[in-house]
Amino acid sequence: GENVEQHPSTLSVQEGDSAVIKCTYSDSASNYFPWYKQELGKRPQLIIDIRSNVGEKKDQRIAVTLNKTAKHFSLHITETQPEDSAVYFCAANTNAGKSTFGDGTTLTVKP
Amino acid sequence: DAEITQSPRHKITETGRQVTLACHQTWNHNNMFWYRQDLGHGLRLIHYSYGVQDTNKGEVSDGYSVSRSNTEDLPLTLESAASSQTSVYFCASSESPGNTEAFFGQGTRLTVV
């Protein structure tokens, strides 16, 4: 089955700096890669996603890149703010629909 | 607005008891999933369903069962609760065929004592 590895497990940045979280996947059939943000005590919510026919996608301060050949994808957050502090999960989906999640990255943005 | 709700939000039960966690969605999604979340393990798939009468085992299905009698509901049953099943449980749903966003319920914190 699919295996998703996510790094780093914790990340601390100064407000205004950039943050990068990286994930690798194993199943070449995976074609959809969502990123979820989970604030303390809350449910995971989608913040951005990318499909296998696209190399990069951007939404304001958030961007995701995908390298299908190397089977890795990354989340980039620029100009970080304290409200970006949360746990971020990457995931990989095949057409079958089930998500395999990475173990999460706890991002702390220091004011 | 469409939503996905879980109940109860918190539950404490004793070892050996049967427990059922409810999940109800009004998105009319065919795909529904149950995950457990433990520190250091992210979200691990317990069971999933692609439609009425369809159920499938995930990576951590031992000790759990689900049934899908209608589109809206996917209850998760712990046949005989064990302390190792103390966790936060999330239900989620998504559209078919499946390479789309998953919408999560609020979660159920289960403690087995």
pLDDT tens for A73-90 read: 999 999 999 999 999 999
Residue A103 in 3-state DSSP? coil
Residue A42 has pLDDT above 90, yes or no: yes
A39: nearest CA partner in chain B: B106
Chain B residue numbers with beta carbons less than 8 Å from the beta carbon of A95 are 97-99
Interface with A, mutate which of B6, B91, B99, B108 (most A CBs under 10 A) = B99
Contact B34, B48 (CB under 8 A): yes
Looking at residue A2, what is its pLDDT? 86
Residue B99 has pLDDT above 80, yes or no: no
Distance of CA B64 to CAs A59, A83, B50, B80, B88, Å? 39, 36, 18, 9, 14
- Pairs of residues, one from chain A and one from chain B, whose beta carbons lie less than 8 Å apart: 60
Residue B42 has pLDDT above 90, yes or no: no
Looking at residue A52, what is its pLDDT? 86
A105 touches chain B (CB under 8 A): no
The tokens describing B67, both together, are 């049934």
The confidence band for B98, taking pLDDT boundaries of 50, 70 and 90, is: low
Phi, psi of A40 (to 5 degrees): -55, 125
Tens-place pLDDT, residues B52-82: 999 999 999 999 999 999 999 999 999 999 9
Give the span between the Cα atoms of A46 and A67, in whole angstroms.
20
Mean pLDDT estimate for chain B: 94
* Residues B55-71 as b or e (16 or more Cβ within 10 Å = b): beebebbeebebebeeb
Give the span between the Cα atoms of B89 and A104, in whole angstroms.
16
Percent of chain B with pLDDT over 90: 88
Chain B residue numbers with beta carbons less than 8 Å from the beta carbon of A101 are 35, 42-44
B105 touches chain A (CB under 8 A): yes
Residue B40 has pLDDT above 80, yes or no: no
Query: DSSP letters along A7-25, please?
Result: E-SEEEEETTS-EEEEEEE
Report B:34-93 residues touching A (Cβ under 8 A): 35, 40-45, 48, 50, 58-59, 90
